[in-house]
């Protein structure tokens, strides 16, 4: 990635008409997944008779519960936990998150659950409408973890339960890429709150000379 990973991610998403306000809460979701994956890596092990299925379920629940709390602070973001799933909505875009046991490049949203079928159907409809949908109404955040923690995470749209239409990589431990962080919102000071800048003595003398010249010209 470039020296500004956040700007590059925003530009990549913008090419698919994704509103700029989508990226900050998605990065928060990734942070929650990363923290949950770290917890599970520290709390589980083969010596405790844990297996990959158990660790995956525990990662999901801990990430989901973290997201519910963390995203409550984001203005304009709503969190839906109906049907025991989690979906966030921001700027007209609905986003769900899923794990990819075989890698982010091989999403696995097949299965008999009604929620997954609905999510895939909505993205396939977007693909059929093509440029008539602006911005996309449905995206998925796909992530992969191992026993050490979060490996990769990508946001995008699927053309089928197991294939991307497009996606943007937002976390990649395998490539040793820097963590993408949303810039902090800086408080804007009013004019009255700004401290008066002290000019160097040389500049003050130049200003005084200029004032004398103006006065001479008026006389």
Which residue range forms the structural domain that includes residue 136?
A: 5-172
Q: What would the two tokens of residue 215 be?
A: 């006065």
The pLDDT score that the predictor gives to residue 9 is 95
The pLDDT score that the predictor gives to residue 112 is 58
Q: What is the pLDDT along the chain (219 residues), one digit of tens a residue?
A: 447 899 999 999 999 999 999 999 999 999 999 999 998 877 766 655 555 666 778 889 999 999 999 998 888 999 999 877 799 999 999 999 999 988 999 998 876 577 777 788 878 777 766 655 578 899 999 999 988 899 999 999 998 888 999 999 999 998 877 788 877 643 333 334 434 434 445 443 444 444 443 444 444
209 within some domain: no
213 within some domain: no
The neighbour count for residue 28, using CB atoms within 10 Å, is: 19
Going along the chain, which residue ranges are E strands?
77-80, 87-90, 93-99, 138-146, 149-160, 163-172
199 within some domain: no
The pLDDT score that the predictor gives to residue 31 is 96
110 within some domain: yes
Integer angstrom CA distances of residue 155 from 142, 176, 205: 6, 18, 59
95 within some domain: yes
151 within some domain: yes
The torsion angles phi and psi of 181, rounded to 5 degrees, stand at -125, 140
- Provide long-range contacts, Cβ within 8 A and 24+ apart, for 164-171: 164/105, 164/107, 165/123, 165/126, 165/127, 166/16, 167/104, 167/142, 168/9, 168/12, 168/13, 168/16, 169/104, 170/9, 170/26, 170/27, 170/30, 171/30, 171/34, 171/143
The pLDDT score that the predictor gives to residue 135 is 81
Closest CA to 141 of 25, 10, 14, 17: 25
The torsion angles phi and psi of 99, rounded to 5 degrees, stand at -90, 160
200 within some domain: no
Number of domains present in the structure of the chain = 1
The pLDDT score that the predictor gives to residue 91 is 94
């Amino acid at each position: 990635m470039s020296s500004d990973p956040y700007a590059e991610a925003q530009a990549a998403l913008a090419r698919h008409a994704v509103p700029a306000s989508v990226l900050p809460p998605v990065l928060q979701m990734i942070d929650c997944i990363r923290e949950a994956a770290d917890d599970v890596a520290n709390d589980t092990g083969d010596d405790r008779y844990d297996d990959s299925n158990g660790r995956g379920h525990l990662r999901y629940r801990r990430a989901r519960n973290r997201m519910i709390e963390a995203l409550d602070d984001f203005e304009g973001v709503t969190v839906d936990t109906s049907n025991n799933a989690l979906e966030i909505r921001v700027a007209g875009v609905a986003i769900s998150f899923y794990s990819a046991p075989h890698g982010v490049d091989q999403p696995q949203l097949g299965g008999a659950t009604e929620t997954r079928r609905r999510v895939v159907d909505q993205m396939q409809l977007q693909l059929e409408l093509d440029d008539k949908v602006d911005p996309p109404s449905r995206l998925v955040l796909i992530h992969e973890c191992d026993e050490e923690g979060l490996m990769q995470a990508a946001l995008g749209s699927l053309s089928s339960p197991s294939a991307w239409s497009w996606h943007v990589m937002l976390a990649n431990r395998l490539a040793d890429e820097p963590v993408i962080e949303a810039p902090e919102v800086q408080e804007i000071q009013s004019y009255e709150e700004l401290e008066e800048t002290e000019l160097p003595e040389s500049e003050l003398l130049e200003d005084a000379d200029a004032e004398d010249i103006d006065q001479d010209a008026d006389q």
